[in-house]
Copies of this chain bind each other. A is one copy, B any other.
Amino acid sequence: MQGIKIVVIGGVAAGASFAARARRLNEAAQITLIERGPEVSFANCGLPYHIGGEIPTRAALAVQTPESLSALLKLEVRTNCEAIAIDLKAKQVQVKDVVSGTLHSLPYDKLMLAPGATPIRPPLPGLEDERVFTLRNLQDMDRILAATAEGMRAVVVGAGFIGLEMTEQLHRQGLRVHLVEQQPQVLPLLDPKMAALLDSELRHHDIQLHLGDQLTRCESDAEHVRCYLDSGQVLEADLVILSVGVRPDTALAKSAGLALGTAGHILVDAYQRTSDPDIYAAGDAVETADRLFPDIPARVPMGGPANRQGRVAADHLFMPDKARPYPGSLGTGIVRAFKVVAGITGWSEKRLQAAGQAYESVTLNDSHHASYYPGAQPLTLKILWEPDSGRLLGAQVTGFEGVDKRIDVLATALAASMTIEDLCHLELAYAPPFGAAKDIVNLAGFAACNRDDGLVTHVTQLPADPRIQLIDVRGKPLAEAFPAPLAGVTNIPFPQLRAHLNQLDRNRPVITLCAFGKMSYFAARVLQQNGFKVASFSGGLKGNLDPRSPAKLPTP
């Protein structure tokens, strides 16, 4: 391995991580890092935050300069260099200097491909206007920044992670923002009801949402870009951000003859080896295995997997007997839009449905820390699990504080193949500012086990069936101040329920409901044991109909 020639194509997350680990494992390797852009190892997840001014200095995003990276890792760093061909037999990369246009060849013993992914530009008329942007690198960011000013109108197309971050940051800069999303919800990775709080938060900040709608074309003149939507609406904008997803940047890999997956990603094994034994690949351009269902491919264009894949490849290259395989991706993600945070790990309900996988789910609401300690904020948590084994399949959390903590706990639980029973007995840290004696994650385990044990039947919809008795068990003042937004509901506060059983018709089914889905469960237990056919409205009003429905009256 002394003097082994390594070429790394791509100098951001996966490529830089691979190069750093390779250098630590081998001081003598000749490592050349090629990057098409002028910069390496920049914080691409931070780009929207500089546009909005939350990250005030651009330099903060340049984690390393080519010079500092070279000095740290004893690398040859060649920026503005694009790899245009790989000769697998000759083991050479053909490289083009994008400034001078000159070509040269780089021989390698081992090659790392970390080309990343390119923002998708849909093939629609009018998107070539220079006021229509995508955001991938510092140069894109600079261009967007140069084009924005207070009072302008922006159209953001796509309400995924980047779209939501850009929406908030443009609003922060004083722009009026329209957000267009093809799906009928924001953050389509989430199940629809779990996106309701984000939706409400965006509207609260005067973001104009166009859901279930899509851009069909743009028309530009000197003054504006006009965005034509499928619905017939026309949005006049000073700038347009396209954030409709990314596609793997694998033209080079394809033309070299490396095996690609059905969606165009580079295929790799658990040690990040491509179909060519001397070429590794890592990051947004590759397809790995799903961590929960190893037979299903995972394409997770996120910084965490990219960094760790780069490391796995370097370990395999220099210490193959000790390298640990990449265990697959969960698809953990998180986003903040204004004060609301939403996170996901593992599979959503809609993805499980689409894949025909059997699942169960519950949705819970609780405070992010002890409710008696000031500042407690509501959280909503949904978990999904396999019916027979109880193994967790996914989780989604939304709220204001402590979302990241619950997602990380649940991502850890998913990685450990934990079950709903295991969630019951997680021993999480509790002091009043930080948690509760029974954290919402424990409560999710309890609720799931209750369901599994037949203690409760849940419904997630309120059927419009006059035969069914809908009983709202919230306290009267709360039920009057925040009435359930549907007809035919009778209010019997839970503490009075046992004394008022005769008010109910034993021959008609009952659905109990409350704000959060907790008192309705208590009520369902009482009714079930008294011979009623009863179901509890899982997730309550908050989780289903009104994401801001409170559990208590606000103190005046």
A residues with a Cβ closer than 8 A to B are: 13, 24-28, 43, 45-46, 49, 54-56, 60-61, 63, 68, 71-72, 74, 161, 165, 291, 302-308, 311, 319, 322, 324, 326-327, 329-336, 341, 343, 345, 370, 372-374, 404-405, 407-409, 411-413, 415-416, 418, 421-422, 424-435, 437-439, 442, 446, 449, 453, 455, 494-495, 498, 522, 525-526, 529-530
Verify A374–B427 contact, CB threshold 8 A: no
Q: What copy number does this chain have within its complex?
A: 2
Verify B45–A332 contact, CB threshold 8 A: no
Verify A526–B421 contact, CB threshold 8 A: no
A426 to B327, CA, bound (A): 9
A407 contacts across to B, CB distance below 8 A = 428-429
A498 contacts across to B, CB distance below 8 A = 74
Chain B minimum-CB-distance residue to A456:
B24
A449 contacts across to B, CB distance below 8 A = 324
A65 to B255, CA, bound (A): 73
Verify B370–A45 contact, CB threshold 8 A: yes
Verify A438–B494 contact, CB threshold 8 A: no
CB A248 to nearest CB in B, in angstroms, measures: 19
Of A165, A308, A449, most buried by chain B (CB within 10 Å of CB) is A308
Verify B333–A161 contact, CB threshold 8 A: no
CB A437 to nearest CB in B, in angstroms, measures: 4
A439 contacts across to B, CB distance below 8 A = 304, 408
Q: Identify the 3 closest CB pairs spanning chains A and B, nearest first.
A: A416-B416, A303-B437, A334-B429
Verify B437–A307 contact, CB threshold 8 A: yes
A455 contacts across to B, CB distance below 8 A = 24-25
Verify A308–B425 contact, CB threshold 8 A: yes
CB A400 to nearest CB in B, in angstroms, measures: 12
A428 contacts across to B, CB distance below 8 A = 304, 332, 407-408, 411-412
A381 to B26, CA, bound (A): 28
